[in-house]
């Protein structure tokens, strides 16, 4: 099997194993009824680091069940083949050529050289970031709960935040911390770091260790600029649209409104945590969040979406066409034509899949167009924000969202690989003819 198929089957195996573990009697909290569909949907959401839930994670699942969900989030965020390779390294097993090919695909690297070293850097960076986040959150939670519970809550939410999974143990996401700048800063920082991608984190990790002043790669510069731009623009839009809404930001002090708007813009692209009731947001804000969820994070990250680099490449192509130049350029670097073609194809296919899934959800469950669009985009973008929650959907609607989460997690990787692998030598060309457009 090619690497794309191995990634798909590996992720599917993780979902199947998670479903079986969550259906065990030990996984459910006393008095909680967990069906096979509940276990499957929760496992799919955790492995695809989405955060859409049909059961209250803190109440419906026992400590064993919560540990299973945490493990699934970590596996889904790092990638099943990345985790397998790490286990192999710990056990002293040799990393085969096929393993390296799949790792290259999972980590979105361009060559095979230094993959094992890169994997070690990734593991060290992830563990260090999650450990610091867990300690900071545990210290904050100590003020409200005993230390064993505070430590578990800190670890769970640090892993959930960095992997952009959006699972919480409070039952209302982070609404209780809407005025707690410390918690929002830590959770938001973890989500942004996870959404930057392993390539960016490893590049900074190497620069910090070597104390080098070499210029950042184009990938890192585009990811940082696009992340900052989308977050700032999203926060400004949310702040302007929700400033006087008494059901959302309008009920908070001015300083807290700014902080919550920034948090909503960052979490809306990736993690899915919320500090206000999403259903009470205005229609323009919901549309803005749909756009942010569609964009997502960076390639090779724990976030979903079509990725900021894809949008940047599409924008560079549009800008080059508008100014009459044939070369798409980002940071004074010309983009390869094959890359921009694949970016445009990925962008268009993602739009088509999203609209098809929205139509299917409307046919299966009914309801309004905007709630269906919001729900489907959240699933495909592996974000986890929701206006009403999948618990109100029937079995067909839940299965559709589960399929959308799976497609959103593996789709961009396999699609880009398929488009790249299908490129072949063309022995002839058809006659050219003009076609009016616009």
| Closest listed residue to residue 378, CA positions, set 164, 136, 60 | 164
* DSSP codes, 180-225: -HHHHHHHHHHHHHHHH-HHHHHHHHHHHHHT--PPPPHHHHHHHH
Bin 211: left if φ > 0, else alpha if -120 < ψ < 50, else beta. left
Grouped pLDDT means (10 residues each) for the chain, 438 residues:
70 91 93 92 92 90 95 84 60 61 59 65 84 95 91 95 91 90 94 87 74 78 93 94 92 92 90 90 94 89 87 91 84 87 88 93 90 93 85 88 89 59 68 80
| Closest listed residue to residue 275, CA positions, set 259, 287, 288 | 259
* CB neighbours of residue 436 within 10 Å: 4
Bridge partners, residue 330, by sequence: 333
pTM: 0.88
Q: What is the pLDDT of residue 200?
A: 86
Q: Could you give phi then psi for residue 31, rounded to 5 degrees?
A: 85, -5
Q: What is the pLDDT of residue 155?
A: 95
Q: What is the pLDDT of residue 2?
A: 63
Q: What is the pLDDT of residue 419?
A: 52
Bridge partners, residue 61, by sequence: 28
Q: What is the pLDDT of residue 106?
A: 58
């Amino acid at each position: 099997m090619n690497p794309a198929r191995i990634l798909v089957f590996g992720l599917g195996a993780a979902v199947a194993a998670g479903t079986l573990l969550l259906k065990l009697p030990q996984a459910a909290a006393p008095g909680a009824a967990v069906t096979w569909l509940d276990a499957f949907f929760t496992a799919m959401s955790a492995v695809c680091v989405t955060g859409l839930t049909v059961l209250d994670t803190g109440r419906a699942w026992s400590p064993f069940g919560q540990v299973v969900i945490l493990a699934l989030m970590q596996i889904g965020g790092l990638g099943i083949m990345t985790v397998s390779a790490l286990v192999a390294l710990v056990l002293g097993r040799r990393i085969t050529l096929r393993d390296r090919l799949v790792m290259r695909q999972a980590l979105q690297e361009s060559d095979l050289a230094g993959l094992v070293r890169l994997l070690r850097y990734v593991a060290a960076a992830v563990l260090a970031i999650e450990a610091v986040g867990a300690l900071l959150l545990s210290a904050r939670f100590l003020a409200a709960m005993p230390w064993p519970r505070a430590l578990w809550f800190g670890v769970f939410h640090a892993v959930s935040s960095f992997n952009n999974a959006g699972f919480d143990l409070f039952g209302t996401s982070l609404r209780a911390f809407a005025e707690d700048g410390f918690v929002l800063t830590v959770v938001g920082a973890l989500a942004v770091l996870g959404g930057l991608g392993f390539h960016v984190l490893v590049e900074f990790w190497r620069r910090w260790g070597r104390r080098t002043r070499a210029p950042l790669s184009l990938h890192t510069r585009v990811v940082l600029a696009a992340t900052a731009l989308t977050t700032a623009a999203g926060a400004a839009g949310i702040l302007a649209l929700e400033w006087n809404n008494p059901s959302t930001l309008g009920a908070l002090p001015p300083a807290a409104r700014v902080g919550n708007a920034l948090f909503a813009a960052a979490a809306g692209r990736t993690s899915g945590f919320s500090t206000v009731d999403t259903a009470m947001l205005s229609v323009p804000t919901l549309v803005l969040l749909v756009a942010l969820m569609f964009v997502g994070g960076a390639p090779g990250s724990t976030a979903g979406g079509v990725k900021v680099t894809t949008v940047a490449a599409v924008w560079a192509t549009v800008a080059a066409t508008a100014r009459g130049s044939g070369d798409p350029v980002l940071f004074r670097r010309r983009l390869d034509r094959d890359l921009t073609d694949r970016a445009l194809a990925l962008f268009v296919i993602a739009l088509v899949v999203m609209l098809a899934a929205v139509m299917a959800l409307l046919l299966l469950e009914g309801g309004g167009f905007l709630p269906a669009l919001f729900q489907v985009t959240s699933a495909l973008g592996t974000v986890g924000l929701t206006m009403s929650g999948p618990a109100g959907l029937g079995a067909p609607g839940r299965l559709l969202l589960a399929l959308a989460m799976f497609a959103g997690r593996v789709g961009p990787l396999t699609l880009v690989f398929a488009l790249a692998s299908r490129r072949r030598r063309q022995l002839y060309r058809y006659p050219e003819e003009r076609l009016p457009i616009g």
